[in-house]
């Protein structure tokens, strides 16, 4: 039952928990850990990012990203390339195995999204995207007050 003192937050929590449960159940079949899909998809679209770039773009602490990247490197999903101009800097990029897994992840996420939004009409989906985008913009405006990094 929802607490109607904060109905939007309550429905966010409930929806988020259920979506992640479905998504990570699907991703478990391809041996992905929960924090890895955003990194894989980011690198699929923007290869050769620094660890700090990745942390900022996926909104995770750099120390947490470091741990995830070590596991991903150990599993052959990513590799580090040293900057030729500044040997202190290295870039993270997907291996061929990582690219294949990222593509599979993208497909799974599309399928899950399709399943959970099946009853929505196209205009409802667009409205949902618009509303959630406005909320994200507002969160970005106030997030400095609630720094998590």
Instruction: For residue range 109-145, list pLDDT tens digits in order.
Output: 999 999 999 999 999 999 999 999 999 889 888 876 6
Q: What is the pLDDT of residue 142?
A: 87
Instruction: For residue range 74-98, list pLDDT tens digits in order.
Output: 999 999 998 788 777 889 999 999 9
**Burial class of residue 37 in the structure, from the number of CB atoms within 10 Å of its CB (0-12 exposed, 13-18 middle, 19+ buried):** buried
Q: Which CATH number fits domain 7-116: 1.10.10.10, 3.40.50.2300, 3.40.640.10, 3.60.20.10?
A: 1.10.10.10
The pTM of this model reads 0.81
Collapsing DSSP states into helix, strand and coil, what is residue 9?
A: helix
> In the structure, what pLDDT confidence band is assigned to residue 149 with cuts at 50, 70 and 90?
very low
Map out the domains of the chain as residue ranges.
7-116, 119-149
Residue 58 contacts residue 38 (beta carbons within 8 Å) = yes
Q: What is the pLDDT of residue 1?
A: 52
């Amino acid at each position: 039952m929802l607490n109607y003192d904060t109905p939007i937050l309550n429905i966010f929590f409930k929806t988020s928990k259920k979506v992640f449960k479905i998504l990570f159940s699907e991703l478990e079949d391809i041996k992905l850990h929960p924090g890895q899909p955003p990194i894989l998809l980011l690198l699929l679209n923007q290869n050769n990012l620094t660890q700090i770039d990745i942390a900022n773009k996926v909104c995770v602490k750099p120390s947490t990203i470091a741990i995830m990247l070590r596991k991903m490197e150990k599993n052959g999903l990513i590799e580090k390339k040293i900057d030729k101009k500044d040997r202190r800097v290295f870039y993270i990029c997907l291996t061929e195995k990582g690219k294949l897994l990222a593509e599979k992840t993208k497909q799974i996420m599309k399928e899950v999204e399709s399943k959970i939004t099946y009853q929505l009409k196209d205009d409802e989906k667009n409205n949902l995207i618009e509303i959630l985008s406005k909320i994200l913009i507002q969160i970005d405006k106030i997030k400095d007050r609630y720094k998590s990094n």
